[in-house]
Chain A
Amino acid sequence: GAVVSQHPSWVICKSGTSVKIECRSLDFQATTMFWYRQFPKQSLMLMATSNEGSKATYEQGVEKDKFLINHASLTLSTLTVTSAHPEDSSFYICSAGGGSEDQPQHFGDGTRLSIL
């Protein structure tokens, strides 16, 4: 069964709307979660590393004020796309796990965001 749950799986909304995406680890605690974005026909690109109880670490070129990350508990991280615009339309996916370097991470189902 799924070990990382992501919600919602699909969002369609108007330009200017803020959208919150949740990522939950289901049967383990995750002090670190990762948020990725994937545009069509492209690879997954890391956006930010979400750290429980502290600020997220953003990758170069990712606006922290636009993509707000909150990791308030050991099982939940949220990504809020603020004032979304059509160019933010993408597949957003979180991962968790892999507590040691040779353990793989588990992915949520992903959220397909379409901004009209």
Chain B
Amino acid sequence: RKEVEQDPGPFNVPEGATVAFNCTYSNSASQSFFWYRQDCRKEPKLLMSVYSSGNEDGRFTAQLNRASQYISLLIRDSKLSDSATYLCVARRGRRALTFGSGTRLQVQP
């Protein structure tokens, strides 16, 4: 079983739609969590950190449920420029990041 699991998609949604991605992690020792965005053939870029209290950054909302070891990302009012692969990431202490395989989003006009 992978340490971080995501639905690979693709999610094909029209512009303006709301889309939600889910992620689960298996290592209960994981302490910090992030969502990264990766465009085709590019390096991952941090989208946002994820906290149990939930956090919002513009159209993006992330949530962490430690009890169920579940992480989510909600994107409202999707834009064409949101098309990318979204990577769910866990980290234990100062160790390296553990990546999910990514969920591909395609926003269509």
Residues of A within 8 A of B (CB): 6, 32, 34, 36, 42-46, 49, 91, 93, 95, 98-102, 104-110, 112
Contacts and interface: CB of A to CB of B under 8 A. Distances in A.
B87 A101 contact: no
A99 B101 contact: no
A69 B31 CA distance: 28
By size class, the interface of chain B is: 20 to 34
B54 to A, nearest CB: 15
A46 B92 CA distance: 14
Interface of B: 31-32, 34, 41-46, 49, 87, 91-102
A36 B99 CA distance: 10
Contacts of A49: 95-96
Contact of A43 (B32, B46, B87, B92): B87
A43 B34 contact: no
Contacts of A104: 34, 46, 49
A32 B96 CA distance: 9
A98 B93 CA distance: 10
Contact of B44 (A46, A107, A112): A107
